Amino acid sequence: MKKLLAALVVFTSLTGCLKTVENKTGRVLVPLQITGAQTPAETVPGSRINARVSVKGSNKCYEFVGFDVRSNVQNTYDIRAYGSYPADTSNLNCGTGLFQLDTAFSLPLYMEGKYVIRYYNDMTLLKADTVTVRN
In whole angstroms, what is the distance from residue 85 CA to residue 89 CA? 9
Judge contact between 127 and 120, C-beta under 8 A.
Answer: no
Q: Which of 127, 135, 98 has the alpha carbon at shortest distance from 39? A: 127
pTM: 0.78
Tell me what pLDDT residue 25 has.
75
CA atoms within 13 A on the CB side of 22: 12
Structural domains in the chain? 24-133 (2.60.40)
Asked whether the predicted pLDDT for residue 18 surpasses 80, the reply is no
pLDDT bracket for residue 23 (50, 70, 90): low
